Structure 1
């Protein structure tokens, strides 16, 4: 049955082949865990198949798929946050682990010379815009549709995220 499934003239397998890597990268940008990003990618394509009748073609196929992946990623973060807070509350009295200082984190990033780390440390509202705009090459209108935000908000978040990145890089250079 899956082999006969088509949407916008593309077979299900072609959709996975064309969009799989990009969706996994976007999911990873939210959850920062490769295995969870792979699970979200699989769930995205499962929903693509099971909810295919809800796709009306008002937006591009990739916009719909990325919207599914973004929603699944955000849902995971909400669930993970609740679990994380509960676990942390219980462990707070039993473990005394030191997190690396801000200076250590900055030095590690500077040594790695990797802009990706700066991007992944941005607040999610800014990170998602940077990744969709620069790495996935969506325009502000498409991002607006995906994130269900006014286009002006997308543009201002894009500008603000660039400012935050610049500040971080400049801070590490001092």
Structure 2
């Protein structure tokens, strides 16, 4: 299947664009607060050498998008990648959002852009989350994704690690969107 892993899409007050070298400094500013990585397995990613390795990996993947708010400020990044244990699949992961933008609808809005794009090609989307990353597990659950199983997987050429594997179907996503819109209209 042909799928654009680096689309330019805007909506809901946010924008995603292909990650470029010129995004390095702005993305580092978004990643430089240690709190952003609290609860994440890569707790030292706010340190410049660790961030630069992370950025270089994302840039070379040709699958990473940079996340911007409607003012154009870079506030994080995310990646599309194939699930290593599911044929003809797509996953969303490697996401971080600057802790200054936690809470509210930021994660939902970005994932909405990414999921809507993915569902044009796929009927389900996978998420692989480290067992220690409770924040991401909860956030993914709020999207309507469900835990399917735990697995030891090598993602994007890495040695196998333990992951919690979640998925969301197109139908479940549409239900989540409808529920949120109905709740918003009721207020």
Normalising by the residue count of structure 2, what TM-score does the alignment of the two structures yield? Answer: 0.30
Write 1 or 2 for the structure with the bigger share of strand.
Answer: 2
Q: Which has more radius of gyration?
A: 1
Normalising by the residue count of structure 1, what TM-score does the alignment of the two structures yield? Answer: 0.32
Write 1 or 2 for the structure with the bigger share of helix.
Answer: 1
* Greater RCO (CA < 8 Å, at least 6 residues apart): 1
